[in-house]
Structures are given as C-alpha cells and as structure tokens.
Amino acid sequence: MKILKNKKGQGYIDVAVMVLVFALVMAFALSVFPVFVAKSNLNKFASEVVREAETTGQIGSSVQDRINKLKKDLENVDSVDWKVNYIYGTNKIQLGDPIEVTVKKNVNIGFFKFGSFPIPLQSKDSGFSEVYWK
C-alpha cells in the first residue's frame, strides 16, 4: 500500500510534458510571427507609395521606381492596384483628387510537416493629389 502512494517520479513526467508543450507553442509562434511582420511591411509599402503619388500628382515613372525600390528593400508584393481619377488622356491626378492604393500578398505559413497554409494579406492607403495641373 505504501508503494502505491509513493510519487517520486511524477515530477519528471510533469516537467517533460511542460517542456514539450512549451516547445510546440514556441514553434507555432515562430511560424506565425512572419505574417505579422509581412502585414506591417505591407502597411508601410502602401503608405510610402501613396505619398509618392501625392507629391508627384501622377502615377508615373517616379512612382514605379519607388514601387520597385520598396519591392527590393521592404517586401515583394503580388499586386498593386490603384483607384484614381486621371485627367483625361494622361496619367496625371488633379489637385485634391483622391488616390487609393491596395497592395496584396499571399504569405505561406507551415507547421512542421503538416503542410503550408496560404494567408492572403491586403493593405490599403489613400491620400489626395498635391499638384495642380493646368
């Protein structure tokens, strides 16, 4: 009867289970963390591209150069979609007209060998043209 009440090895099993659970939680956190970083980078990407379009008053080569630089330095995105009102026949945006950009990217997360889970991320930003075109 005294042998059944003896619990000398129970602490080791508890510690082993806790270490295993902690390792799984850390592995999950490390696989999900890049999604939050990518979302933050997409937000920054969208705001910088809109700011470039605001100051130049057009969606032209300077905006495309800025997009290419941000793709190389910050985040490679899948698509950049614009919603603007151009001056007829040009790529220019009149003073005070709204500029809206939507940036999209798919980020894959995987958990060990259980596969890949694509997560679509999207970031929007908007502003107004600061250039008066005659």
Number of structural domains (the chain) is: 1
**Residue type at 2 in one-letter notation:** K
Task: Let me know if residue 2 belongs to a domain.
Answer: no
Walk across the sheet containing 98-110 and list its strands.
79-84, 98-110, 116-128
Q: Which domain holds residue 64?
A: 10-128
Does the residue 1 lie in any domain?
Answer: no
- Residue 63 placed within a domain: yes
Asked if 56 and 90 touch (Cβ cutoff 8 Å), the reply is: no
pLDDT in tens, 55-76: 999 998 999 999 999 999 888 8
**Domain annotation covers residue 133:** no
Residue 14: what pLDDT?
82
What digits encode the pLDDT tens for the residues 72-128?
988 889 999 999 999 998 889 999 999 999 999 998 887 666 677 888 999 999 999
Q: Whole-model pTM?
A: 0.79
**Residue 3 belongs to a domain:** no
Does any domain span residue 110? yes
55: enclosing H helix or E strand = helix 10-56
Indicate the pLDDT class of residue 7, thresholds 50, 70 and 90. Answer: low
Residue 72 within a domain: yes
Q: Rounded to 10 degrees, what is the CA torsion of 76, 41, 59, 87?
A: 130
